[in-house]
Amino acid sequence: MTTPLPIDQMIDLRRGTISREIFVSPEFYREELDRLFTRAWLFVGHESLIPKPGDFYVSRMGEESVILCRDAQGAVHVFLNSCRHRGMKVCRYEQGNTSLFVCPYHSWSYTTDGKLQGVPLYRALYDGTLNREEWSLIEVPKLALYKGTVWASWDPAAPDFLDYLGGAIDHLDQVLDCRDGRPGGSEVIGVHKWVFPSNWKFAAENFLGDTYHNPSHRSVDMIGIGPNAQRGLRRDNEYNKGQHAWVGHPAGHGMHSVLMPPTMEYEPSYAQYPAVDEYFRHCFYERKRRLGEKARLLPFTGNIFPNASYHGRQPRGICVWHPHSPTETEGWRFFLVDADAPAEVKDVLRRFYMRYSGPAGMTEQDDMENWLYATAASKGTIARRHPFNYQMSMGAYRTDDPIRGDVSLQITEQTPRNYYRVYASYLNGAPWSELLGRPQVRTAAE
Amino acid sequence: MRPLAWYQLREEIEEFLYFEADLLDQRRFKEWLDLLAEDLVYFMPMRRNVKFGQHAERENTKQGEGISWFDEDKWTLGKRVEQVLTGVHYAEEPLSRVTHMVSNVRLLDVRPSAEDAQEVTVGCRFLVYQNRVEYENHTFIGRRTDELRRVGSSWQIVRREIILEQNVLLAKNLSIFF
């Protein structure tokens, strides 16, 4: 028996408040796993991790282990990493190449297209009963490959991935495309994996455009760790002359991007490394030439609903916030570079990524500290009676002006308000039309 | 039977490693930086779950390639120290309580000789305990291989490889030094 969720009471967008319950309670967490992670499109990995037939990379969707693999014919699949017989993980290596996934438990084996091949003593024990065709590895019903990235949904009725992305694609493209504007062409140069005691939504929200938390990174800005560290902050200020924009999309995605002036010029970056600076200068003008007006949009951070965040340029990568429990998250960060960038460029970038990002990164360590103690201090009975405040810049946005989405030109919590509107729809079991659409009723405050 | 000079050298190197650990535990970070050579390599790979037979080739991420936990130089470590000393690096503010245990110290290579050692490769095990704010506890266990260079009457660390015995990092941060 399921008690109906008072999710609509937890999320009050009219007032701009959200209950702490959704960040700490096991009941909401269970609903998220059952109703949200089983439907939304989730980031699984990147094709550069599985370039050849037989290559596999073990990933996660929600709490569950999945295998991303390329079969003998070159087709990409995503399977639940669990034997159909007794559930043992059929793959406990992170990455590799194989022709078969052999379950260690009773030795059932599966080909790289998921088909059950080997069943020990089949003739003696199963003949006439077990139909191998029906016992393939459990495969995601919806899979999308987009500019190297791999996404999947467990809902056969999920809309096509590009419909799900909607206007967010304008921003995601700037993350995935080559720095010189050629479509796609990125590769993953490494993946951080770590666990931290925080609700996963704190991390997602951070990337939705929470520019307001900038002061928490004061220490790295004081010392300067960016590519131009001798005169810089934690990264180069290439967005200096741009119009910052915080954008929410109807399907829950949100981001902080920058619209550069039409006359935009290259801001010297990586100046300590002349060859790298030259590479980015070349890419900047080549991108401007290729994309024209569209080149004005530069990405900063964003979050593709529900848990795939990105950093668009400095550094550049995709982070996935896998839920472990209401108060524990496993972060995976896939670091991206242009696959055909010169070796020196890749070397300078990877060094910058490492000192900036993840649990060893000087910038993001402070994020983890905040997420941990925000979670910890929201568990208490008294704390849970008092909602979080999401009232920043209420109503201060315009729709589809000057770019697609609900666009705010000031720092705003419109992106998380929009995110939690969609989140509530998932928890209410809403149909896809609602999950993709705009709210039916606009509140007076908005 | 090794020459007496070899045992004296091991004693000297052990003493150096314990002294270094103590500087960190006493939060004397700037003095600790002085023990690092200008051309320092500080490397902590990520560890992967790989099939039997592939460990040598694929278990650890590689220095100089792609992403590791740390693959950095003295400038970057200096920045890390500077950041802690700002007093607003919230991942280390308030400062963690840290104890470095160093054991299983072995001289792996001595150049040119124990009697006139100028460079030493030393292996050890570490157990680093971090306790933070009220309830946060992390234990980092692993192996270290250090390249040391004699400078005057003391030593400097030229290369440090830190092999942490974890796959998914089980701590929220690596905000301390190893």
pLDDT at A352 over 60: yes
Mean pLDDT of chain B: 97
Most B CBs within 10 Å: which of A55, A59, A92, A94, as the mutation test of the B interface?
Answer: A94
pLDDT at B3 over 80: yes
pLDDT at A444 over 60: no
Gap between the terminal Cα atoms of chain B? 33
Chain A partners within 8 Å of B54 (Cβ):
96
- At A232 the pLDDT is 66
A354 within 8 A of B70, measured Cβ to Cβ: yes
- At A424 the pLDDT is 96
Percent of all residues in chain B with a pLDDT value above 90, rounded to a whole number? 99
pLDDT at A441 over 70: no
Chain A partners within 8 Å of B140 (Cβ):
none
Q: Is A372 on the interface with B (CB under 8 A)?
A: yes
Q: Is B86 on the interface with A (CB under 8 A)?
A: yes
Mean pLDDT of chain A: 94
* Structure-token match 């997420």, residue found: A371
CB within 8 Å: B51 and A96 = yes
Q: What is the pLDDT of residues A163-193, one digit of tens each?
A: 999 999 999 999 999 999 999 999 999 999 9
Q: What is the pLDDT of residues A183-222, one digit of tens each?
A: 999 999 999 999 999 999 999 999 999 999 988 999 988 8
CB within 8 Å: A94 and B80 = no
CA–CA gap between residue A273 and residue A276 (Å, rounded): 5
pLDDT at A111 over 60: yes
* Structure-token match 């697609």, residue found: A404
Q: Is B91 on the interface with A (CB under 8 A)?
A: yes
Q: Is A439 on the interface with B (CB under 8 A)?
A: no
A357 within 8 A of A192, measured Cβ to Cβ: yes
Cα–chain-centroid distance for residue A210?
15
A276 within 8 A of A345, measured Cβ to Cβ: yes
Search chain B and give the residue with CA nearest A328: B172
Cα–chain-centroid distance for residue A418?
17
Q: What is the pLDDT of residues A237-264, one digit of tens each?
A: 778 889 999 999 999 999 999 999 999 9
Q: Which of A191, A192, A365 sits opposite B91 (nearest CB)?
A: A365
- At A446 the pLDDT is 40
Cβ-based contacts under 8 A for chains A and B? 117
Which domains occur in chain B, in start order?
4-164 (3.10.450.50)
Q: Which of A189, A223, A369 sits opposite B79 (nearest CB)?
A: A223
If you count DSSP H runs as helices and E runs as strands, how many of each does chain A have, helices first?
Answer: 14, 22
Q: Which helix (H) or strand (E) holds B36?
A: strand B36-44
- The DSSP line for A14-43 is TTTEE-THHHH-HHHHHHIIIIITTTS-EE
Tokens (6 digits) for B82: 């500077």
What confidence category does residue B96 fall into, taking pLDDT thresholds of 50, 70 and 90? very high
Percent of all residues in chain A with a pLDDT value above 90, rounded to a whole number? 88
Instruction: State the smallest CA–CA distance between residue A432 and chain B in angstroms.
Output: 35
A111 within 8 A of A98, measured Cβ to Cβ: no
Q: Is A343 on the interface with B (CB under 8 A)?
A: no
CB within 8 Å: B49 and A93 = yes
Sign of CA dihedral A211, A283, A145, A74: negative
CB within 8 Å: A192 and B67 = yes
Chain B partners within 8 Å of A220 (Cβ):
83, 89
Q: Which helix (H) or strand (E) holds A68?
A: strand A64-70
pLDDT at A440 over 60: no
Phi and psi, residue A5, nearest 5°? -80, 135
How are beta strands B36-44 and B154-164 bridged, if at all? parallel
Q: What is the number of other CB atoms lying within 10 angstroms of the CB of residue A137?
A: 26
Q: What is the pLDDT of residues A23-74, one digit of tens each?
A: 999 999 999 999 999 999 999 999 999 999 999 999 999 999 999 999 999 9
B88 within 8 A of B51, measured Cβ to Cβ: no
What confidence category does residue A226 fall into, taking pLDDT thresholds of 50, 70 and 90? confident
Which domains occur in chain A, in start order?
42-143 (2.102.10.10), 166-436 (3.90.380.10)
What confidence category does residue A5 fall into, taking pLDDT thresholds of 50, 70 and 90? low
pLDDT at A231 over 90: no
